[in-house]
Structure 1
Amino acid sequence: MIELRPFNSLGSANHGWLDAHHHFSFAGYHDPARVNWGSLRVWNDDTIAPGTGFPTHPHSDMEIITYVRKGAITHRDSMGNEGRTEAGDVQVMSAGDGVQHSEYNLEDGETQIFQIWIIPDERGGKPTWGAKEFPKGERAGQFVPLAASTANDNDRDEGALPIRTDARVLGATIKAGESVTYTPSAADRHLYLVPATGAVKIDDVEAKARDGVAMTQLDEVTITAIEDSEVILVDAA
């Protein structure tokens, strides 16, 4: 099953400082057909104006992965962590039994992020935060794990930021005309792919930048770039 979810079909809300698009039901947007995809609960496509951001607010029992598409995001939290994550890089916050944090664009230009929430395998636990650089050159022509389950005891996720859920978040850059194939551990996994840039084709389905592609019941997926593309893929239970 491969289902295209065009960018113009997503839920949206423009708050002035924040232009948000929701792949799944979120805040004031509710679509009973798009509440979650397996354990993948949220995929927000946010554009944040310079000098603005999300003030301090709480979270619990959620794995929150932020992929920066443009600009940079500055994080602060109640655990004492502070960090600036630039375009192409990733931060992960395991909210655990509760954490408060803020996310601001302190840059001169706008910041664009994918904010991905995945339901954890277990509730509670000590909250954690981490960030890491992922050079795009190392993702050329292959999927590189950006975040992956701490329960995965294998070499394929070495270097990924840890998350407390049976899921993987991966990134790849694909040149026009070239292909990358991904093989999930089981056909019933829930795959969700979004091109951050460019355009790709999966079988006869074409996805442009910021479109979503929901997939399941597939033994493998081959993504062919129509244009030079940067893609993010979530593989969730």
Structure 2
Amino acid sequence: MIDVKSFASLGGANHGWLDAKHHFSFASYHDPKRMGWGGLRVWNDDTIAPGTGFPPHPHADMEIITYVREGAITHEDSLGNKGRTEAGDVQVMSAGTGIRHAEYNAEPGATQIFQIWIMPNRGGEQPAWGAKPFPKGDRSGRFVTLASGIAGDDEALPIRANARVLGASLKAGESLDYALATGRFGYLVPAKGALEINGKRVEARDGVAFRDEPALTIKALDDAELVLVDTD
């Protein structure tokens, strides 16, 4: 099955400094039919105004992946980590037994991110944070694993979940296939550009939930940038 949820239908709220759209139930948005997809619990599409951001707050027992679409995000946490992650790059925070962090847009323009939360497959471990650049040229016409808890994905940022977060870039007219193993859940969002997926049109920032499909054929109708989560 393939289920397309349009960007216009997403829940969310505009707080002035933050314009947040939620693919799944989050904060004041609650839809009992959209509580997650397999191990994927949250996919937020956030636009953060310049000079603002999320002040220090706690998390535990969650894998939090931030994919920066435009601008940059500046991270600080209670472990003493500090870092700036730019557009196209990724940061991962394994909240573990507990961590406090802040995420700020210190840039002159708006920052746009996907924030993805995946349920961990083990607990009781110390928190951790990391970031890594992923040049878009390396993803041209193919998927690159950005974050993973699956053995063999040594170039990806580590997460404590039986899941992968992948990214790809396609030129208009290019196609890419993806096979999802039996029993797993896939969720794909184009950060930019329109796609056709197994004959269904998907616009930028729409969400595509899929499972029990032998393969996806993804065709770019425009130059496109996409992010995909493959989880149990």
TM over 0.5: yes
TM-score normalised over the length of structure 1: 0.97
- Structure 1 stretches of at least 4 aligned residues deviating more than 4 Å after TM superposition: none
Aligned to 2:66: 66
Aligned to 1:153: 151
Aligned to 2:221: 226
Aligned to 1:47: 47
| 1:104 matched to 2:100 | no
| 1:174 matched to 2:194 | no
Tell me how far 1:188 sits from its aligned partner. Answer: 1.8
3-state DSSP of counterpart to 2:79: coil
Aligned to 2:207: 212
Gaps of 5+ in 2: none
Of all paired residues, the percent bearing the same amino acid is: 66
| 1:235 matched to 2:230 | yes
TM-score normalised over the length of structure 2: 0.99
Q: Which amino acid aligns with 1:112?
A: Q
Residues 80-126 of structure 1, C-alpha deviations (whole Å, 9 max, x = no match): 00000000000000000000000000000000000000000022210
3-state DSSP of counterpart to 1:138: helix
Residue number among 188, 191, 194 corresponding to 1:196 in the alignment:
191
Aligned equivalents of 2:172 and 2:50: distance in 1? 32
Aligned to 2:126: 126
Q: Which amino acid aligns with 2:151?
A: D
Residues 1-58 of structure 1, C-alpha deviations (whole Å, 9 max, x = no match): 0000000110010000000000000000000111000000000000000000000000
Tell me how far 1:131 sits from its aligned partner. Answer: 0.1
Residues 174-231 of structure 1, C-alpha deviations (whole Å, 9 max, x = no match): 11111111122x2221000000000111112111110000000122211110111000
| 1:33 matched to 2:37 | no
Gaps of 5+ in 1: none
Q: Report matched runs for 1:2-41 at 5 Å.
A: 2-41=2-41
Aligned equivalents of 2:47 and 2:197: distance in 1? 27
